[in-house]
Amino acid sequence: MGAGRHNGQHQAKRQDRVGVKADYKPFGYTDPSGKIVGLEIDLANDVAKRLGVSIETGSRVAANRMEFVKQGRIDMMIATMAYKPDRAEVLAIPQPFYYAGAANVFAKKSSGLKAWADLKGKPVCAIQGAYYNRKTGEEFGAQLVVFKGVTEAMAALEGGNCVGHRVRHDVLSPASWAMPSGPITRWCCPRSIPNPGGWACARKTRNSPRSSAT
C-alpha cells in the first residue's frame, strides 16, 4: 500500500491514507467530539501497527470508496464493503473477511411492511453504490430513492419520503436510530442476500510484502 509514494529505506515513517465510513454504526461513525471512531477504524489502526506505518483516515461513502482506491487517492479502504466477484476483479480484497451480513428493510412500525412482496411499487430509501439495490428494484419491485449516505436516507425516512430504508442488517439497531416522531423499531422482512465483507487495496499491491502483513 502506498508503495509509489514511499520509496527508500531512509525516509520518515510512512503514512498511508485509509478510507473509512463515518455514518455506519458500529463500523465507522462520528463521536460527539467529531472524531471518526468504530470497528473499522480500530482495524485500520491494527493494520498500521502491523505494517509499521502511520495512517490518515478520511470519510468515504459507498458511491465513491472503490474509485478512491482505483485512482490512488487512498491506499486502503476499510469501509463496509461487501465482497462481490466483480469487485474482486478490480480491487485486491484480502482474506479472511472480517464480517458477514445480510440486507433488510428498516421501517417504522406503522409502515405495514411484513414481506418483500409488500415493497412492490413503494418508495424505499437506499444507499448509492450498495450491492443489493438492483435486486430490491428488479425482483421486489420497490421504487428506490437513492441517497449518498445512511444519515440522509434515515432523514428521508423520518420525513416520510419512503416507507423503509434498505440497508445491511448488521449496520443499524433500532435503539441507535430513535427519531422525533417515534422510534423505528422493526426490521420488516426476512434477511436476504448475505455477503461477507472485507478491506481492499489496489490490485497492483496485492503481492507486495507489505500487503500480506494482514
Residues 120 and 52 in one domain: no
Query: Cα-flanking dihedrals φ and ψ of residue 199, to 5°?
Result: -90, 165
Indicate which CATH number applies to the domain containing 86: 3.40.190.10
% of residues, the chain, pLDDT over 90: 44
Grid cell of 107 as nine digits: 421501517
Cell 405495514 appears where?
112
Report the relative pairing of strands 99-107 and 164-168 from DSSP bridges. antiparallel
Residues 7 and 45 in one domain: yes
- Cα separation of 83 and 86, whole Å? 9
How many CA atoms, within 13 angstroms, populate the side-chain half-sphere of residue 181? 12
Residues 190 and 113 in one domain: yes
- Cα separation of 177 and 138, whole Å? 28
Residue 6 has pLDDT above 60, yes or no: no
How many CA atoms, within 13 angstroms, populate the side-chain half-sphere of residue 158? 13
Residues 177 and 202 in one domain: no
Residues 91 and 130 in one domain: no
Grid cell of 88 as nine digits: 474482486
Note the pLDDT of residue 213: 38
Give 20-46 pLDDT, tens digit per residue. Answer: 999 888 889 999 999 999 999 999 999
**209 vs 14: which has the higher pLDDT:** 14
Residues 58 and 131 in one domain: no
Residues 184 and 120 in one domain: yes
- Cα separation of 149 and 206, whole Å? 29
Residues 78 and 126 in one domain: no
Residue 120 CB partners (closer than 8 Å, separation 6+): 140, 141, 142
Domain extent at residue 153: 102-195
Give 82-97 pLDDT, tens digit per residue. Answer: 898 999 999 999 989 9
Q: Which residues of 134-156 are buried (b: 16+ CB within 10 A; e: fewer)?
A: eebbeebebebbbbebbebbbeb
Note the pLDDT of residue 188: 81
**pTM listed for this prediction:** 0.68
Residues 94 and 106 in one domain: no
- Cα separation of 124 and 3, whole Å? 42
* Domain count across the chain: 2
Grid cell of 105 as nine digits: 428493510
Residues 30 and 65 in one domain: yes
Q: Please, what is the average pLDDT of the chain? A: 82
